[in-house]
C-alpha cells in the first residue's frame, strides 16, 4: 500500500494520512487483524515525522478503528480476537462435543460461579431473548453523505438473509431505535465505534461488515497498459475515495483514473467518453447502460464495462447470518 501526502494543499498531512488509512481498512486492503506499518516504516513511506504518524495512530485507536498491542504493534481492530478464534475452533475439548453437553457445561459453570438454578435459568432466557430480538431485523446505517454505502450493503444482504433489511442514515438512527429498539445495526468498520455506543444504549447489537476484496476487478486494472483511462462509477462516495487510494497505490500516475457518482449525469457522460474500461457497482450498471444508449451518437467507441456484482465478502455475510441465528457455524 502506497500513501500519497500532498504538501501543497490546505488539508493537514495528518488528516490526509488518517483518511487514507481509514479508506484502506474500509476497502479491506488492510483486513481485520492486519498489522499496520510501524511509525518508522510509515515515516519512510510518506516522508512525515514519526510524531505525526504516532498522532494519527492514536486517533485511529481512539476512534476504534485499530488497537495497539504493547510490544507488538498497531492492528486493524477485529471483533473476534485471534486467541478466542483458536480456542473455539482448535480446542481438543470441542472435538466430540454436542449441544446438550455444552449446555450442561454452561449451566454447571454458572452454578459454580454462585448462581442458583432459577438465576441460571433467567440469565440464559434473557440472553436467548436478547439474541432473538437482535435477529428480528437488520438496520444498515452510515452517514447520510454516504448513504450509498448503506444501499450497497443492503442490496447484498437482502437476498441472503431471511429477515427484513432497512437503510437508516446515522443521523436518524436514534429516533428509529427510540420507536422500536430491536434488531442488529450493520455498518462498515469506519463507522462502527459511534454506532456501538448507540447500540449499547438501546440494548441492540452493532456489527461491522467487510467489503469484498475486488480481486477480479483489481487484476484487470493492474494489467492495463500505461496511459489507459479507467473510470470508476458508484452510488457510494466513500467507495470511490477508497478506490482512488487503492488504484493509485497500485498504478501511481501511469494510468488516468476518473471517478463519479452515478447520478452526476454530466460527469458520467464525460467519463464514458474518455474511459477505455469502466468498473461499477450493481446499482450503477443500468444508469451507465441507459446513458450509453442515449448518447451513443457522441461516443467514438463503447468502453468495456466491468460490474462488481458483490460489495460484501461472502465470509462477512455468512458471519452475520451466524450472529443473528440464520445458520449454524
* pLDDT computed for residue 256 by the predictor: 93
pLDDT digits (tens, 9 = 90+) for 15-54: 888 888 887 787 677 888 889 999 999 998 888 999 999 9
Q: Give the pLDDT band of residue 235 (cuts 50, 70, 90).
A: very high
Reduced to 3 states (helix: H, G, I; strand: E, B; else coil), residue 165 is strand
* Ramachandran quadrant class, 19 (left: phi over 0; alpha: psi -120 to 50; beta: rest): alpha
Is the pLDDT assigned to residue 91 strictly greater than 50?
A: no
Is the pLDDT assigned to residue 80 strictly greater than 80?
A: no
* pLDDT computed for residue 96 by the predictor: 61
Higher local confidence (pLDDT), 245 or 272: 272
Domains of the chain: 1-93 (1.10.10.10), 97-132 (no CATH), 135-210+314-323 (3.40.50), 215-308 (3.40.50.1860)
- b or e along 305-326 (b: 16 or more beta carbons within 10 Å of the residue's beta carbon)? bebbebbbbeebbebbbebbee
* pLDDT computed for residue 5 by the predictor: 82
In the chain, the percentage of residues whose pLDDT exceeds 90 is 40
Amino acid at each position: 500500500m502506497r500513501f500519497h501526502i500532498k504538501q501543497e494543499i490546505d488539508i493537514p498531512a495528518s488528516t490526509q494520512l488518517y483518511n487514507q488509512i481509514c479508506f484502506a481498512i474500509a476497502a479491506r486492503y488492510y483486513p481485520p487483524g492486519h498489522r499496520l506499518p510501524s511509525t518508522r516504516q510509515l515515516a519512510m513511506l510518506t516522508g512525515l515525522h514519526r510524531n505525526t504518524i504516532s498522532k494519527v495512530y492514536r486517533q485511529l485507536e481512539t476512534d476504534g478503528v485499530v488497537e495497539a498491542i504493547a510490544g507488538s504493534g498497531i492492528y486493524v481492530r477485529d471483533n473476534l480476537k485471534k486467541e478466542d478464534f483458536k480456542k473455539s475452533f482448535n480446542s481438543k475439548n470441542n472435538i466430540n462435543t454436542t449441544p446438550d453437553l455444552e449446555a450442561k457445561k454452561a449451566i454447571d459453570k454458572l452454578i459454580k460461579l454462585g448462581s442458583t438454578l432459577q438465576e441460571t435459568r433467567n440469565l440464559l432466557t434473557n440472553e436467548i431473548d436478547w439474541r432473538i430480538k437482535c435477529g428480528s431485523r437488520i438496520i444498515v446505517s452510515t452517514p447520510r453523505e454516504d448513504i450509498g454505502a448503506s444501499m450497497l450493503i443492503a442490496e447484498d444482504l437482502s437476498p441472503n438473509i431471511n429477515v427484513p433489511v432497512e437503510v437508516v442514515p446515522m443521523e436518524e438512527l436514534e429516533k428509529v431505535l427510540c420507536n422500536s429498539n430491536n434488531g442488529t445495526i450493520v455498518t462498515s468498520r469506519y463507522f462502527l465505534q459511534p454506532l456501538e455506543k448507540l447500540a449499547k444504549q438501546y440494548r441492540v447489537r452493532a456489527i461491522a461488515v467487510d467489503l469484498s476484496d475486488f480481486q477480479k476487478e483489481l487484476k484487470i486494472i493492474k494489467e492495463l497498459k500505461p496511459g489507459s483511462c479507467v473510470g470508476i462509477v458508484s452510488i457510494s462516495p466513500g467507495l470511490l475515495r477508497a478506490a482512488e487510494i487503492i488504484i493509485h497505490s497500485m498504478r501511481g500516475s501511469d494510468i488516468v483514473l476518473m471517478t463519479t457518482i452515478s447520478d452526476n449525469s454530466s460527469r458520467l457522460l464525460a467519463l464514458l467518453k474518455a474511459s477505455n474500461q469502466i468498473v461499477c457497482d450493481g446499482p450503477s450498471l443500468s444508469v451507465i447502460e441507459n446513458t450509453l444508449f442515449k448518447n451513443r451518437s457522441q461516443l467514438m467507441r463503447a468502453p468495456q464495462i466491468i460490474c462488481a456484482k458483490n460489495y460484501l465478502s461472502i465470509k462477512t455475510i455468512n458471519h452475520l447470518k451466524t450472529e443473528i441465528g440464520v445458520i449454524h457455524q
